[in-house]
């Protein structure tokens, strides 16, 4: 049963208690992260000084995301929330990517250990590491499916996003040119038509809607129309999404040289950091994955962006918009703690 999402009250941080109790408290911020179809494909085990982070393979979108790329991006988003929250409460986090020798938790064959966050209670050594505005955005961030306003995003804000992505092997393309955005919109239309034409894709989406994961959202209402004719839906989705792309002053694309587990987790972290910073700036963010889910369109996007050594792995639009009304639910904490 999904639980309503709400960030914990900061005053209930168990300051005088064990590091283990404090780490458990931080996980409540991790689970507010975005995830593909709100699948929340993560689990956490808390030890006396660390949080072990798991990817839950049983929650992978087998049709939309057979390679588990979106799954790892989603886990990366949760990882970033954990890091930001740890700093807020004065704990120095160190992320180690990769599996430990430890066996999966009991009943957890579908859980893959992908990272460990070590927490140092001696306090932060990194000057200025507490970025309160990022932390405060964790509870306010939402995916916004509305059309965006015709209003540019300040260069200084975009420069900050670029700074977040300026890390080994990662890239961030910020597309503002109207012609290029129109070309991406055309690709979006074709990708939507392709995906919605696939009964397995629609069944999978229908499954996640059925769990209540996407809330009473615009998507729920529109998918109801599938009963009429799936081809019509594909065209309509394509047209609407294409307009959403062209309405956005910025189409952002995160790119990588490789797609190993640590790299994809880091991309998820960068995306979430951008999404939190955007939220604190009053900007809306909306990931749109269909182009990247189909090899043919992903290759076309790579060419359109003129990428040579990098491949696009995550696409989202950024801009100003009325706040979205959807509040997506979250799995209860006890479901994700091992």
Ligand X SMILES: Cc1cc2nc3c(=O)[nH]c(=O)nc-3n(C[C@H](O)[C@H](O)[C@H](O)COP(=O)(O)O)c2cc1C
Q: Using CB under 6 A as the criterion, which residues of the chain lie in contact with ligand X when the complex forms?
A: 34-38, 70, 73-74, 77, 142-143, 145, 214, 287-290, 328
Question: 71 with 22: CB under 8 angstroms?
Answer: no
Residue 37 CB, nearest distance to ligand X (Å)? Answer: 6
Residue 293 CB, nearest distance to ligand X (Å)? Answer: 8
Residue 128 CB, nearest distance to ligand X (Å)? Answer: 28
Residue 178 CB, nearest distance to ligand X (Å)? Answer: 22
Question: 31 with 43: CB under 8 angstroms?
Answer: no
Query: Based on CB atoms, which residue is closest to ligand X, 87 or 142?
Result: 142
Q: How far is 293 from 296, CA to CA, in rounded Å? A: 9
Which residues lie across from 119 on neighbouring strands? Answer: 93
First to last CA, the chain: 18
* Exposure class string for 261-291: b at 16+ Cβ within 10 A, else e: bbbbbbbbbbbbbbbbbbbbbebbbbbbbbb
Query: Based on CB atoms, which residue is closest to ligand X, 52 or 313?
Result: 313
Query: Based on CB atoms, which residue is closest to ligand X, 35 or 242?
Result: 35
Query: Based on CB atoms, which residue is closest to ligand X, 88 or 314?
Result: 314
Q: How far is 29 from 330, CA to CA, in rounded Å? A: 11
Query: Based on CB atoms, which residue is closest to ligand X, 22 or 269?
Result: 269
- Give percent helix, percent strand, percent coil of the chain, each to the nearest 5: 45, 15, 35
| Strands laid side by side in the 42-46 sheet | 42-46, 50-56, 111-120, 92-97
Question: 261 with 99: CB under 8 angstroms?
Answer: no
Query: Based on CB atoms, which residue is closest to ligand X, 45 or 245?
Result: 245
Residue 122 CB, nearest distance to ligand X (Å)? Answer: 33
Residue 123 CB, nearest distance to ligand X (Å)? Answer: 31
């Amino acid at each position: 049963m999904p639980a309503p999402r709400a960030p914990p009250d900061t005053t209930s941080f168990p300051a005088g208690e064990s590091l283990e109790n404090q780490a458990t408290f931080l996980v409540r911020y991790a689970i507010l992260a975005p995830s593909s179809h709100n699948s929340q494909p993560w689990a956490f085990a808390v030890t006396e000084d660390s949080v072990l982070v798991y990817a839950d393979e049983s929650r992978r979108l087998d049709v939309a995301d057979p390679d588990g790329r979106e799954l790892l991006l989603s886990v990366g988003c949760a990882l970033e929330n954990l890091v930001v929250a740890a700093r807020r409460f004065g704990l120095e986090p160190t992320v180690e990517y990769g599996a430990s020798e430890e066996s999966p938790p009991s009943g957890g064959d579908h859980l893959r250990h992908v990272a460990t966050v070590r927490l140092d209670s001696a306090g932060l050594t990194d000057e200025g590491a507490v970025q309160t505005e990022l932390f405060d955005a964790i509870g306010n961030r939402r995916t916004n499916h509305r059309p965006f306003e015709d209003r540019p995003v300040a260069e200084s804000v975009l420069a900050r996003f670029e700074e977040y992505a300026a890390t080994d092997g990662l890239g961030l393309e910020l597309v503002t040119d109207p012609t290029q955005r129109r070309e991406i919109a055309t690709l979006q239309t074709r990708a939507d038509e392709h995906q919605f034409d696939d009964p397995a894709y629609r069944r999978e989406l229908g499954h996640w809607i059925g769990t209540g994961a996407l809330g009473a959202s615009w998507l729920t209402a529109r998918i109801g129309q599938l009963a009429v004719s799936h081809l019509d839906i594909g065209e309509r989705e394509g047209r609407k999404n294409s307009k959403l792309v062209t309405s956005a002053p910025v189409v952002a694309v995160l790119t990588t040289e490789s797609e190993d587990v640590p790299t994809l987790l880091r991309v998820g972290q960068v995306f979430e950091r951008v999404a939190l910073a955007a939220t604190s700036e009053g900007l809306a963010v909306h990931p749109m994955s269909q182009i990247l889910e189909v090899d043919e369109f992903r290759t076309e996007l790579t060419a359109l962006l003129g990428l040579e050594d990098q491949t696009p792995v995550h696409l989202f639009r950024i801009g100003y918009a009325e706040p979205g009304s959807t509040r997506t639910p979250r799995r209860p904490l006890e479901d994700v703690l091992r």
